[in-house]
């Protein structure tokens, strides 16, 4: 059995600094907003919806950035999580209590220390590198 989910490395630029949005799930893990696809949804649509549901913001997705993580969950299910890069401005993320335990907005070095899983840290490193080349 397998599952697929979609989300985004979500960021904003404040005072010339890139800040990344991290969420803490109800298992105590820090990562990026993501979730399951609903019937008929594309990966892009699911990512946008999940960020809106978890952080209360609307993002613009960059179609040139995509990272796929594949792993086996503790229950034995094979999972693929697809991450895009999403930006927002002029909005304040608001934790949706039914979705996430906490929201953080951190610069790269701090976000890297907070992320729970190494594969997420790799995604963040790739996003940071991509942004430094394109901004």
Residue 42 lies in domain: 2-134
Looking up residue 86, the CATH number of its domain turns out to be 3.90.79.10
How do residues 26-75 score in pLDDT, each as one tens digit?
Answer: 999 999 999 999 999 999 999 999 999 999 999 999 989 999 999 999 89
The tally of domains found in the chain comes to 1
Q: Is 96 helix (H, G, I), strand (E, B) or coil?
A: coil
Q: What are phi and psi of 115, to 5 degrees?
A: -55, 135
Q: Using a cut of 0.85, tell me whether the model's pTM lies above it.
A: yes
pLDDT in tens, 88-124: 999 999 999 999 999 999 999 999 999 999 999 999 9
Q: What is the pLDDT of residues 117-135, one digit of tens each?
A: 999 999 999 999 999 998 7
The answer to whether 24 touches 55, Cβ cutoff 8 Å, is: no
């Amino acid at each position: 059995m397998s599952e697929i989910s979609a989300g985004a490395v979500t960021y904003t630029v404040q005072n010339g600094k890139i800040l990344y949005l991290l969420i803490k799930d109800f298992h105590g893990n820090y990562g990026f907003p993501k979730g399951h696809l609903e019937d008929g949804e594309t990966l892009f649509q699911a990512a946008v919806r999940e960020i809106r549901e978890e952080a209360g913001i609307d993002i613009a997705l960059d179609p040139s950035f995509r990272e796929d993580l594949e792993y086996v969950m503790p229950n034995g299910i094979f999972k693929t999580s697809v991450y895009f890069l999403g930006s927002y401005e002029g909005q304040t993320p608001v934790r949706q209590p039914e979705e996430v335990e906490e929201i953080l907005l951190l610069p790269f070095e701090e976000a890297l220390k907070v992320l729970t899983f190494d594969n997420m840290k790799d995604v963040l490193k790739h996003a940071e590198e991509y942004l430094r080349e394109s901004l």
